[in-house]
Amino acid sequence: MKQEEQIIRTEYSELMQKSYIDYAMSVIISRALPDIRDGLKPVQRRTLYDMYELGIRYDKYRKSARIVGDTMGKYHPHGDSSIYGALVVLAQDFKMGQTLVDGHGNFGSIEGDGAAAMRYTEARLQKLTQEAFLADLDKDVVDFVPNFDETEKEPEVLPVKVPNLLINGAEGIAVGMTTSIPTHNFGEVIDGVIAYMKNPGINTEQMMQYIPGPDFPTGGVIANKDELTAIYSTGVGKIKIRGKVEVEQVKGGKERLVITEIPYTMIGANIGKFLNDVCNLVESKKTTDIVDISNQSSKEGIRIVIELKRGADVENLKNMLYKKTRLEDTFGVNMLAVANGRPETLSLKQIIEHHVDFQFELATRKYTTLLGKEREKSEVQEGLI
């Protein structure tokens, strides 16, 4: 006898609404936003955990293709390009406050060149990642959940000992919300954590004595320092960031402007765009002081040189560059992360609070596990005695 077809009658708009909300939540929670505890998105967490599982320590490289394939087969059933893209960013010192992966081979450049294909490059964990992100996983410090086909277990969160969300920042576009957290100085963030532990009633201004502001891997100068307190206490705002410009004397009484640090938003194709914008200023006769511009950047760092003619008004020219080009840019801050299973906009202090609570939980679980093992041992020894 043929199975009767089941037709469910439903209001179309209700079904669409429910399906879309389900989809949106899955993008928010398990793709685009970092977890408050380890500051990682699922693809980053899975890649790092897979490297740990493959036994890739900080003393030996393995082919990136091996890492990507293994991660895809075991934990992350999506395109290989998304996994390799995440691995590459984890190794780029101009994007991360603190790189978590040590890449060997061509991992792209600050000027927007892509990394080599994954069959050519190799990677290994940084020592920091091994010791501060992946230690104690065998001591039941975090919960493990089944992977997509329930053949493996993966950690729900990594037992990270440092406030990675602040150190490495985050950027992600979910559905109806985005996150954008700037990177910070490792030492300053740790000082802030210690200050909070000594005085949990600390306020944002006091916290900013330890963490005065973001610390971008590309350097730069923050032009609106007075707005940082408001940004850190609400978790949203706009940071105005400028490149660092030095004036060098050239023989013959001429001067030249040398840009040694650029706004974080300028990495990639925007460096080329900046050079074009400066050329356009000259061509449209907005300024007649510029003789030549050259990009002398190398592995040592950024160095963009603007040659000036004799008697040029340097201050006026600097201001024009800030106004008319990307040498001054805004970095939109929106400190959104997944806290207790739901997206939340957090202040600087709240991020540190969550971090300290997480450390407390990790330590409690670790020593409970160790105590349990010792008790089992002692029982055996007492029996023998």
Helices within 212-345 (DSSP H only)? 228-234, 270-283, 314-324
How many angstroms separate the CA atoms of 207 and 195, rounded? 7
Residue 363's alpha-carbon distances to 4, 90, 260, in angstroms, are 56, 27, 43
Q: Collapse the DSSP code of 343 into the 3-class scheme (helix H, G, I; strand E, B; otherwise coil) and give the result.
A: strand
How many angstroms separate the CA atoms of 315 and 70, rounded? 55
Tokens of residue 286, six digits: 């907005």
Residue 273's alpha-carbon distances to 143, 253, 295, in angstroms, are 47, 30, 12
Which of the following is catalytic: 49, 52, 75, 120? Answer: 120
Strand order through the sheet with 236-242: 170-173, 178-181, 328-334, 236-242, 221-222
Residue 257 pairs in a beta bridge with 247, 306
Kindly write down the DSSP assignment for every residue of 106-163, as one continuous string: ----TTSPPPPPTTT-EEEE-HHHHHHTSTTGGGT-S-EEE-TTSSSEEESS---SS-
What's the CA dihedral at 210, 91, 149, 344 to 10 degrees?
A: 30
Residue 120 is among the residues annotated as catalytic for this protein: yes
Residue 207: CB atoms within 10 A of its CB come to 23
Amino acid at residue number 42: P
Q: Looking at the annotation, which residues are catalytic?
A: 120
